[in-house]
Amino acid sequence: MALIAQLKKRLQLQQRNRYHFILIESPLHTVEREIILWGEALWWPKKSRLQFVRITSGGIPMGTRYQARLLTFWGPRWEVEVTKLMDGYQIRRTFSHRRFILEENLNLEERYNGTKVNYWLTYRIQGLFHRILWQVRFQRLFDKAVELALASLKNHVESQQNSKE
């Protein structure tokens, strides 16, 4: 009986978190206009395994919808929606898929030497097979795509800042 209870507890949906950050030696106002364009900006890495395609048109208000996918064999695809937008310094997007439920939060913190960009990914994976796929393959690719995007953002903003000086 105790063994069954332990197995049920392990199979429950557990919320997990991933965190990445980068420091950019540029004022907050130069970073905030770029962070809103996450996934579709000109600086978004061409080699990124994470691809966004906007479904809605116009600006990027709350409710803006995207289709996102992880470019790999059996890679998941999500419907993505901007669910929170605060004055250009915080954006939250919710990814929905039958098995992979993700929420990404990007926010900016002003620092004395520039701006800190925080990226949090909160996720829940349904089903043992999909959890194994996420752990073995997709999580690493997703993390690398985020790290590459943060590095591209830093390079873009700092080069823009340097060209103005």
CATH number at residue 29: 3.30.530.20
CA dihedral 21, 27, 29, 30 (to 10 degrees): -80
Q: Which amino acid is at 139?
A: Q
Which pLDDT band holds residue 13 (cuts at 50, 70, 90)? low
CA-to-CA separations, 20 to 17, 23, 132, 151, in angstroms, rounded: 10, 11, 22, 11
6 within a domain of the structure (yes/no): no
Please say if the pLDDT value at position 55 is more than 60: yes
Average pLDDT over the chain, rounded to an integer? 87
**pLDDT beyond 90 at 33:** no
* Model pTM score: 0.86
Q: Are 54 and 38 in contact (CB under 8 A)?
A: no
Helix axes 139-164, 28-35, angle to 10 degrees: 130
* 107 exposure class (CB count in 10 Å sphere: 0-12, 13-18, 19+): middle
Query: Is the pLDDT at 10 greater than 80, yes or no?
Result: no
* For residues 141-162, average pLDDT: 93
What is the rounded CA–CA span in Å between residue 66 and residue 79? 6
pLDDT at residue 5, rounded to an integer: 62
CB atoms within 10 A of CB 17: 9
Kindly tell me if the per-residue pLDDT of 114 is higher than 90: yes
Residue 165, pLDDT score: 63
How much is the average pLDDT of 117-129? 91
Instruction: Note whether residue 158 is domain-resident.
Output: yes
Residue with the two structure tokens 């919320």: 15
Q: Is residue 128 one of the residues assigned to a domain?
A: yes
Residue 35 covered by a domain: yes
Mean pLDDT of 12-35: 87
- Which domain does 75 fall in, by range? 15-164
pLDDT surpassing 80 at residue 162: no
Count of domains forming the chain: 1
State residue 140's pLDDT score. 93
Q: What is the per-residue pLDDT for 62? A: 84
pLDDT at 102 over 80: yes
Pairing of strands 50-54, 77-86: unpaired
Residue 126 has pLDDT above 90, yes or no: no
93 located within any domain: yes
State mean pLDDT over 136-154: 94
**pLDDT of 70 strictly over 80:** yes
